[in-house]
Structure 1
């Protein structure tokens, strides 16, 4: 018992010291803003910690929407709080989304909280501005735009079919979340980054899982904290990737590979007008950022689709009918999905769209005020974070009729058009997610193979959703699998 007490004190005393010190820093920051006359209503909570723990607890219990709604009811659609170690203004609603997502970098910089920037890096697309941002974005978009992605469909189809087969062979029960993470990570590694070694891919997946869990946490760098574990995982990712990046750089020089071989090669080949090459750190940070964006968002959506289809047999059958019809209309000896066939999967994608409306993969995201500004009659001081949320419009009855009802048809022939900045699962404006089309293709290919080859049921029909930070089934979504079609693509 005495040993436990010493252990507890050893953990708490540094935290108390940091909290006291941070209180002084926090109060100093507020004092700098003493000229601000009309801050939004709300509570900044405890110094430094703010309302972070309360917010993360709500997320963990899938109560994030309620957490926002309670404060909107109490303070209005614009309110202040403190998250991830910094004072924050949360803005909800369509006009608020347009203000935050539609503003340029001179008002809101795409700067992330310390936990995110320290773990994912400070030189990636979510942090950059100006010419460097445009340069790196152009390189990534060159791989992710539809006219390029259509050439990857056959490769993605082969990868997904083989990985699903190898991971489900001779297994009656699997955890769907793990399965979807393995599949989407394999596709990202192979197609986007040219990483083929299975051992390296497995090690990277393990560390990316740790890092991603840590990006929404308090930035307290003590042993055992999520933040420390995330930083350690980042270090291991860098050590594993550095030799790979250096080898690709050498191969580029020798003409063995080319800028269009993969995203890493494309970044390594970049120069600005000043002929300043992209640094290895910039390549590394953008690799980490794009891996998270291209892998975990798809794995999340697919996990939720598997859960939904198990709970709603009518939707499962309708999707299966659409996918079988595509196969029956196929001509010739081609066994791979084609770009044109992907475009025929309209109902399947509407189900995905409706899932992302009700349970968006990204709850919201941060910006940082570059200068003093205002919105809705309230001042937003320079240096404060601004946080936009999807639920403010996704679940608004004035925008979507019966917003809590699952209805994929609302994306087929809507009774009223969806206004701009109202449906934002991929963000909006100039910083809209560049990987949304890649994610759409990957999702549709995976669902095609699942519904044409398997039936499944939930081991626990009452499994809850848990956000860390994406909304995943809390037990990993164990499912009972029953093959219904053998595959020739194994």
Structure 2
């Protein structure tokens, strides 16, 4: 028997032993994991998890898995092994120990679309630095003197586009409002302009792939999202170059402010602006649509909400004022109650990803 034949003869049993040892180690290491089903290879249970469901339910996927495995179960989502928790106690424990036992961590498929420098993906000092940059831009003076008037302007534009006796989709109109507001707030883009509409089209494609099955093949939502991400970043980069070539930089939007007041690299600025466009647009538009959905079933709240705003309107007419100001905003106490109740009844964020920095025991299982 030649050396090659002898080697080929030994390969199968060696591989078999290695596989058995690997399975034994995995079983020993993860023997205290919660019950569950890892689903198909790579995809796991992602497709079932992403099926649409009513806002008043937790969805068929969660209901089925909770009934079978309990409120804490293992799965494979977005191409990675995951422990899913619908247990309020564990969720509270995770959030209370963030930065010590747990840290923000999104699957590689989502991180690949948002970008490695996205504020939603970063942890530790870099996350704090980017968050501080955003908060410094949103100072109290800017909120009072600029952002409130911008919100009113975009609200009037959307309401003015509705035709008499027409039917509108609350979710679509909420997304139109929040996108136009964020686009102007971040890059001074005006609603209705061709470049704004082109960016909006790319952004819609981008959003469809952020939370999708991580299949990077031609024609898939994930592949299209990656392509749209590249187009959006190219658009932002051109805006950056235009600002750098201007004699007097515009600090009225986030792009101009970051260019002048931060030491971030080009790649960091690109990912920061894209992540803020994503975060600000998605959460706000969902909250607006949900508030309309819940108000429809509560006429008393609609009446009280209407009375509060009519009272503010009458007071402004008497004083000769037209635009909303900070004092008007502070008077909207019941409006704030509606917002709080909306966020209590319907979560604007479908899930939060957190990673245990070390094994954590909770009620006899390892997280």
Residues 55-87 of structure 1: CA deviation (Å, up to 9, x unaligned): 112x34665345334433432332211111111
Candidates 186, 194, 202, aligned match of 1:199 = 194
- Which structure has more helix as a fraction of its residues? 2
- Which structure has more strand as a fraction of its residues? 1
Residue 297 (1) aligns with residue 288 (2):
no
Partner residue of 1:266? 257
Partner residue of 1:284? 270
Residue 378 (1) aligns with residue 326 (2):
no
Residues 310-355 of structure 1: CA deviation (Å, up to 9, x unaligned): 4543332221111101112235221011112112222223223222
SS state of the match for residue 38, structure 1?
A: coil
CA distance in 2, matches of 1:242, 1:304: 34
**Count of aligned pairs:** 344
CA distance in 2, matches of 1:361, 1:139: 24
Partner residue of 1:486? none
Partner residue of 1:344? 331
Pick closer, same or farther for the CA change 1:226–1:379 going to 2, 3 Å: same
Contact 1:42 1:79 (8 Å CA) reproduced: yes
Partner residue of 1:91? 85
Partner residue of 1:22? none
Pick closer, same or farther for the CA change 1:117–1:349 going to 2, 3 Å: same
Contact 2:150 2:181 (8 Å CA) reproduced: no
Unaligned stretches of 5+ residues in structure 2: 1-18
SS state of the match for residue 168, structure 1?
A: coil
Candidates 166, 172, 179, aligned match of 1:172 = 166
Contact 2:158 2:173 (8 Å CA) reproduced: no
Residues 173-218 of structure 1: CA deviation (Å, up to 9, x unaligned): 3333222211111111112432237222111211212211211212
Residue 155 (1) aligns with residue 155 (2):
no
Contact 2:53 2:59 (8 Å CA) reproduced: no
CA distance in 2, matches of 1:244, 1:372: 45
Candidates 131, 138, 145, aligned match of 1:137 = 131
Contact 2:118 2:271 (8 Å CA) reproduced: yes
* Alpha-carbon shift at residue 372 of structure 1 (Å): 2.9
331-340 vs 99-108, which deviates more?
99-108
Alignment of 1:1-400 (within 5 A): 34-57=28-51, 59-60=52-53, 64-105=58-99, 107-144=101-138, 146=140, 148-151=142-145, 152-165=147-160, 167-169=161-163, 172-196=166-190, 198-251=193-246, 254=247, 256-257=248-249, 260-271=251-262, 277-330=263-316, 331-380=318-367
Residues 361-402 of structure 1: CA deviation (Å, up to 9, x unaligned): 11221122333333332113xxxxxxxxxxxxxxxxxxxxxx
* Alpha-carbon shift at residue 219 of structure 1 (Å): 1.0
Q: Highest relative contact order (Cα 8 Å, sep 6+), 1 or 2?
A: 1
Pick closer, same or farther for the CA change 1:311–1:30 going to 2, 3 Å: farther
201-210 vs 298-307, which deviates more?
298-307
Tell me how large the CA RMSD over aligned residues is: 2.7
Partner residue of 1:413? none
SS state of the match for residue 109, structure 1?
A: strand
Pick closer, same or farther for the CA change 1:51–1:75 going to 2, 3 Å: same
CA distance in 2, matches of 1:111, 1:161: 39
Pick closer, same or farther for the CA change 1:308–1:36 going to 2, 3 Å: closer
Residues 428-481 of structure 1: CA deviation (Å, up to 9, x unaligned): xxxxxxxxxxxxxxxxxxxxxxxxxxxxxxxxxxxxxxxxxxxxxxxxxxxxxx
Residues 276-306 of structure 1: CA deviation (Å, up to 9, x unaligned): x312111111111111111122222222333
CA distance in 2, matches of 1:49, 1:336: 52
Contact 2:103 2:123 (8 Å CA) reproduced: yes
Pick closer, same or farther for the CA change 1:111–1:268 going to 2, 3 Å: farther
Contact 2:295 2:301 (8 Å CA) reproduced: yes
